[in-house]
Amino acid sequence: MKQPVERFAAYRQALAAKVHASGVKHGKTLEAIATVPRHAFMDPGLHAQAYEDTALPIGHEQTISKPSVVARMIELMHKPRHPLGKVLEIGTGCGYQAAVLSLLADEVYSIERIRPLHDLARAKLRPFRINNLRLIYGDGILGLPQAAPFDGIILAAAGLGIPDALLDQLAIGGRLVAPVAKNEKEQQLVMVERMSSQRYQRTVLDGVFFVPLQSGVV
């Protein structure tokens, strides 16, 4: 990734410290949070809030997730002593999480179903000249079978369950991290590890709040 403008360097370091204080311990994830300029992925009117640990609107009824939640999910996707090879992100949004992932995985594929957001992310990411990131306009619920299997899959939207297509596209030994809705008001972070071709281990974690996972493209 081309180095970001250093004017915001102190803010990025402070944000990484906040994320660390929230409980994230994975060093490389914290380094990535301290490197990617979050303000570059939102409207100028929100730049003053860019380095707070909070979700912010990006248009089209979508949000840029809290940095601590982004980092927590990425931390969970890492297996100890196993580098991330190929990662699939469902819900590109404005492109911030994809940029963070590009510093941590060999290859990142990111799918967005809302065309204006896909175009926005492409425009926001272009100045960084990220060579290991591919943006796809499509239905994330279907995954990306042509690039599977994936060592990690991360969802930036909450469904009532995890789509079978995504579980099928997870490599054996790989991890999928997703928010899952218990009901209309409650969501939980879930980590699924594929143990074999037929066996998955599911761990239910923190309470979270994400926009709904939807099918189709718009």
- Active centre residues (catalytic): 65
In this structure, the strands spanning 133-137 and 150-155 are unpaired
Q: Is 26 left (phi over 0), alpha (psi -120 to 50) or beta?
A: beta
How many Å is the maximal CA-CA distance in the chain? 50
Candidates 107, 102, 131, 84; CA nearest to 35 is: 102
CB atoms within 10 A of CB 57: 12
The conformation of residue 82, written as its DSSP 8-state character, comes to B
φ/ψ (deg, to 5) at 3: -65, 135
Residue 198, token pair as written in the block? 């037929």
CA distance 98 to 118: 12
CA distances (Å), origin 88, targets 23, 46, 148: 24, 28, 9
| Contact between residue 133 and residue 70 where contact means Cβ atoms under 8 Å apart | no
